[in-house]
Amino acid sequence: MQDLIRRYGVGLTGLMVLLVAFWLLMLVIIPNITLFESSFRPYLPVVEMGGPKDVYSPNNYLKVFDGSVETTILGMTFMVPVHIRTFFLTIWYSVTVTLACFVLAYPVAFYLAKIANPKSVPTLLLLLFVPLWVSEVLRAFAWWIILALKGPLNSLLLSLSLIDKPVRWITDYDAVLIGLVYTYILFMLFPIYNAISSLDTNQIEAAEDLGASRWRIHWRIVLPHSKPGIASGAVMVFMLSAGSLLVPSILGSTTSQWFTQTIQQWMNDALDWNTASAYAFLLLFLCTAFVSLVMWIFRVKLSDIAK
Amino acid sequence: MSAGIDLENVVCDFGDFRAVDHVNVSIKPGEFFSFLGPSGCGKTTILRMISGFTEPTQGIIRIGGQDVRGQRPNQRPTALIFQNLALFPLMTVWENIAFGLEVRGVDKAKRRARADELLRLVDLPGAADKYPSQLSGGQRQRVAIARALAVEPAVMLLDEPLSALDLKLRQHMRAELRAIQKRTGVTFIYITHDQGEALAMSDRVGVMSQGRIQQVADPREIYNNPVNGFVASFVGENNIFDGTVVNPANGMAGYETALGTFRARLGALATGKGVKLFVRPEHTAISLTAAAENSVPVTISEVSFEGSFISIQGKAAGGTTLVAEIRNDGAATVPAIGSAAFMSFDPARAAILPDAETRR
């Protein structure tokens, strides 16, 4: 602080502190506290707000246990509350998206960091960025067109004789997964690219010189070194996927339901903002708990990710 | 289990730049061979070609008589020690050392035993479970050597591995490296720009400049009988005179300079442009009266006391500075700065040499 004042003067330092404080307080802390507070209050008509019925209770949170449906897992049939089912499917498919992003991004990141000619890397990175210049809504719609039953993807595959009848892509969660992988893959690519770039190429050469095969070099040298990058990429992709509303709304089918869509239905269709808030916090807490658990299993520290 | 290396007419181009230019060297099995030269002379490229990270543009590389062109580094019987050592920071010391065995499918107990054995060889017992970051520079050096020795290479390639160490440790590690080489009998190929290192450790030295080998000989020969001006001035200090050769006969010749005509040995090929006369400072004597021959009157301009020897600079006519080094026997008399004296040298200790060998 002393240092900042000496460098920029009291006026500019004050302005910076004020702006940061405003951003934190007004855009992060207060909205969240408001949401958190209202999540414990019942949904009441306006006249009864503040009346005797307006008391704090965990009832909004307990609504996830309402209304069971039949669910089959590994050939066994269970009765599972419908919102819990939605929640676990959201987590499960977000994990799938995260793994798919990793499998696709790792080779590209390694190529960019260690194989590509350093002179052409800026151009390649720019090419990766270009799709981000178009709004996420438009890109999701573009995929909706591409994946349509009589859309360009099916025509292409048919003309190449790779398939003999059109594939229905937008069914169940399939199109949602494709859309999410496409939307969030760069959040996986860049942390891994940064991590691999910081690996001394001599380490790779030393391993090869000692007789290691390509797979072994990746398994023992490159992957362990890039673990923090993979971890931060995975956390970002997972959290963004689980919290995405747009892609599941546009690319979803009649049989797909994302937990964020449930929250939106509480908020917009049922107009019950209190339950919607409770569900939003459930999503936040449980995802955070899940991420912490996975990080603990893979022995990744928070400080590694922040690097 | 050591192999010789033959480089036959090896050329390596990077685009328009010729990094290595028709190099021919035969390195014997079990030899400690150094490539010595300034940075950018192509010595590291030679090392990378032997280890397999770079392919020669032309020419043949043989290891143990076998042509190794097209073999990847993991197929060659060489082990490279990198300038920055490239230890694996996320593995413990013993895992580092045993990495080469791990990739060969040796089971864990045997790997551990071999790592401990090698740690004793490099005089570093008890460091097995530490991480490289917990070791000092010299200890890391030993781990890198042990890691390379673990794969039982026929040839060890060392890329200036001592350059990051401080002077004392560097001198200690020189002796250590030499001892390990003698103990294991593996062929060592050592890359350095430090002439002291190359002379002190090697059986033979190859001096390089601009991609070409200038001279291959044992250290004494390199220092005492350099074949050209580049070798003479890169290895050790010299007083250099510019002039023309007169009356060559029986390997000796006169040499006419602005400071008078000297007599010296005439090097082979010392004809044409760029021929100069080289005399080492320690072969330059200082006296109050003129010597019989090769004597230059000077004014003493600087005296620096170096401990074991005393370096005396004298200004000759025309501003040429000459340096004489005299051994400090404890009673050496040193002329005062500004006084007049004569610097002279034995014709047998002075050589008329051509310029460096460059492009054909």
Contact A205 B80 (CB under 8 A): yes
Contact A206 B73 (CB under 8 A): no
Taking contacts as CB-CB distances below 8 angstroms, the residues of chain B near A210 are 74, 79, 99-100, 103, 147-148, 150-151
Residue B320, domain CATH: 2.40.50.140
pLDDT score recorded for residue A129: 87
* B14 interfacial to chain A (CB closer than 8 Å): no
pLDDT score recorded for residue A199: 94
Whether B358 is in a domain gets the answer no
Whether B75 is in a domain gets the answer yes
Lowest mean pLDDT among A63-77, A166-180, B169-183: A63-77
Whether A100 is in a domain gets the answer yes
Distance from CA of B130 to the nearest CA of A (A): 18
Tell which of B176, B194, B229 closes a domain.
Answer: B229
Of all residues in chain A, the one with the smallest CA distance to B157 is A209
- Token readout for B29 is 């099995």
The string of DSSP codes covering B234-258 is HSS--EEEE-EEEEEETTEEEEEET
Mean pLDDT for all residues in chain A: 91
Instruction: Say which DSSP state B154 is in.
Output: S
Whether A254 is in a domain gets the answer yes
Instruction: Say which DSSP state B75 is in.
Output: G
B224 and B236 fall within a common domain = no
Nearest-angstrom CA–CA distance, A223 and A211: 18
Contact B83, A203 (CB under 8 A): no
Contact A139, A131 (CB under 8 A): yes
Of all residues in chain A, the one with the smallest CA distance to B98 is A210
Name the more confident of A122 and B356.
A122
- Token readout for A167 is 């594939």
Residue B205, domain CATH: 3.40.50.300
Q: Integer distance in angstroms from the first to the last C-alpha of chain B?
A: 38
Does the interface predicted TM-score (ipTM) exceed 0.90? no
- Token readout for B259 is 């400071």
Contact A209 B78 (CB under 8 A): yes
Average pLDDT over residues A238-257: 93
B195 and B331 fall within a common domain = no
CB-closest option in A206, A211, A224 to B82: A206
Query: Whole domain around residue B288: which residue ranges?
Result: 231-353
Whether B359 is in a domain gets the answer no
**% of chain B exceeding 90 in pLDDT:** 49
Ramachandran sector of residue B162 (left: φ over 0; alpha: ψ -120 to 50; beta: rest): alpha
B24 and B116 fall within a common domain = yes
Contact A216 B90 (CB under 8 A): no
Task: Assign 3-class secondary structure to chain A.
Answer: CHHHHHHHHHHHHHHHHHHHHHHHHHHHHHHHHHHHHHHCCCCCCHHHCCCCCCCCCCHHHHHHHCCEEEEEECCEEEEEEHHHHHHHHHHHHHHHHHHHHHHHHHHHHHHHHHHCCCCCHHHHHHHHHHHHHCCHHHHHHHHHHHCCCCCHHHHHHHHCCCCCCCCCCCCCCHHHHHHHHHHHHHHHHHHHHHHHHCCCHHHHHHHHHCCCCHHHHHHHHHHHHCHHHHHHHHHHHHHHHHCCCHHHHHHCCCCCCCHHHHHHHHHHHCCCHHHHHHHHHHHHHHHHHHHHHHHHHCCCCHHHHHC
Distance from CA of B340 to the nearest CA of A (A): 57
Residues in chain B: 360
B214 and B248 fall within a common domain = no
Nearest-angstrom CA–CA distance, B238 and B241: 10
Contact B255, B298 (CB under 8 A): no
Q: How does pLDDT run along chain B (360 residues), one tens digit per residue? A: 688 999 999 999 998 899 999 999 999 999 999 999 998 889 999 999 999 999 999 999 999 989 998 899 989 999 999 989 999 999 999 999 999 999 999 999 999 999 999 998 888 888 899 999 999 888 998 899 999 999 989 999 999 888 878 888 888 888 888 988 998 899 999 999 999 889 999 999 999 999 999 999 999 999 998 988 899 989 988 999 888 888 887 888 888 888 888 888 887 766 666 788 899 999 998 888 888 888 898 999 999 888 888 999 999 888 888 999 988 887 777 888 888 899 999 988 888 888 776 654
Burial of A228 (0-12, 13-18, 19+ CB in 10 A): buried
B295 and B254 fall within a common domain = yes
Nearest-angstrom CA–CA distance, A276 and A266: 5
Distance from CA of B179 to the nearest CA of A (A): 23
The string of DSSP codes covering B254-323 is EEEETTEEEEEEE-TT--STT-EEEE-GGGEEEESS--SSSEEEEEEEEEEE-SSEEEEEEE-GGG-EEE
Close Cβ partners of B350 (under 8 Å, ≥ 6 residues apart): B262, B264, B265, B277, B278, B279, B283, B294
Q: Mutate which of A209, A214, A230 to disrupt the B interface (most B C-beta within 10 Å)?
A: A209
pLDDT score recorded for residue A138: 92
Distance from CA of B71 to the nearest CA of A (A): 11
On the question of pLDDT at A243 being above 60, the answer is yes
* B82 interfacial to chain A (CB closer than 8 Å): yes
B311 and B342 fall within a common domain = yes
- Token readout for B285 is 């004597």
* B300 interfacial to chain A (CB closer than 8 Å): no
Task: Assign 3-class secondary structure to B177-240.
Answer: HHHHHHHHCCEEEEEECCHHHHHHHCCEEEEEECCEEEEEECHHHHHHCCCCHHHHHHCCCCEE
Tell which of B196, B229, B262 closes a domain.
Answer: B229
Nearest-angstrom CA–CA distance, B338 and B360: 48
Whether A9 is in a domain gets the answer no
- Token readout for B317 is 């006519």
* B340 interfacial to chain A (CB closer than 8 Å): no
Q: Which residues of A lie inside 8 Å of B (Cβ-Cβ)?
A: 200, 202-203, 205-213, 216, 220-221, 224-225
Q: Mutate which of B53, B88, B90, B159 to disrupt the A interface (most A C-beta within 10 Å)?
A: B88
- Domains in chain B, number: 2
Distance from CA of A109 to the nearest CA of B (A): 21
Give CA separation, B317 vs B289, B299, B302, in Å.
Answer: 17, 9, 16
Query: At residue A125, what is the residue type?
Result: L
Distance from CA of B174 to the nearest CA of A (A): 22
- Domains in chain A, number: 1
Q: In this predicted model, what pLDDT tens digit does every residue of A41-60 receive, in sequence order? A: 999 888 888 888 888 989 99
Whether A113 is in a domain gets the answer yes
pLDDT score recorded for residue B360: 46
Q: Integer distance in angstroms from the first to the last C-alpha of chain A?
A: 23
Dihedral angle sign, alpha carbons of residues B104, B5, B32, B25: negative
Strand partners, B312: B303, B324
B301 and B267 fall within a common domain = yes
On the question of pLDDT at A91 being above 60, the answer is yes
* B73 interfacial to chain A (CB closer than 8 Å): yes
- Token readout for A234 is 């995975």
CB-closest option in A202, A216, A221 to B82: A202
Whether A15 is in a domain gets the answer no
B38 and B187 fall within a common domain = yes
Contact A216 B88 (CB under 8 A): no
Whether B360 is in a domain gets the answer no
Q: Mutate which of B49, B51, B90, B103 to disrupt the A interface (most A C-beta within 10 Å)?
A: B103
- Token readout for B247 is 């009356």
B194 and B323 fall within a common domain = no
Contact B153, B186 (CB under 8 A): yes
Query: At residue A55, what is the residue type?
Result: V
Query: Whole domain around residue A176: which residue ranges?
Result: 66-306
Whether A8 is in a domain gets the answer no
Nearest-angstrom CA–CA distance, B243 and A142: 81
CB neighbours of residue A12 within 10 Å: 12
Nearest-angstrom CA–CA distance, B133 and B129: 12
Q: What is the maximum alpha-carbon separation in chain A? A: 78
Q: What is the maximum alpha-carbon separation in chain B? A: 77
Q: How far is CA B62 from the centre of its chain?
A: 23
Nearest-angstrom CA–CA distance, A97 and A40: 33
Tell which of B213, B229, B245 closes a domain.
Answer: B229
Taking contacts as CB-CB distances below 8 angstroms, the residues of chain B near A114 are none
Distance from CA of B151 to the nearest CA of A (A): 7
On the question of pLDDT at A307 being above 70, the answer is no
Of all residues in chain A, the one with the smallest CA distance to B102 is A212
Residue A78, domain CATH: 1.10.3720.10
CB-closest option in B51, B103, B148 to A212: B103
Of all residues in chain B, the one with the smallest CA distance to A202 is B86
pLDDT score recorded for residue B164: 76
Report phi then psi at A274, rounded to 5.
Answer: -65, -45
Query: At residue A133, what is the residue type?
Result: W
Whether B96 is in a domain gets the answer yes
Taking contacts as CB-CB distances below 8 angstroms, the residues of chain A near B15 are none
Nearest-angstrom CA–CA distance, A176 and A46: 38
pLDDT score recorded for residue B126: 86
Whether A42 is in a domain gets the answer no
pLDDT score recorded for residue B358: 61
CB-closest option in A200, A203, A209 to B79: A209
B71 and B211 fall within a common domain = yes
Listed residue (A177, A111, A93) closest to A140, CA to CA: A177
Close Cβ partners of B339 (under 8 Å, ≥ 6 residues apart): B299, B300
Whether A193 is in a domain gets the answer yes
B225 and B239 fall within a common domain = no
On the question of pLDDT at A182 being above 50, the answer is yes
Residues in chain A: 307
- Token readout for B85 is 């050592």
Cα dihedral A153, A158, A164, A166, rounded to 10, equals 30
B203 and B260 fall within a common domain = no
Strand partners, A97: none
Contact B84 A202 (CB under 8 A): yes
Contact B103 A225 (CB under 8 A): no
Cα dihedral B106, B128, B97, B108, rounded to 10, equals 10
pLDDT score recorded for residue B320: 86
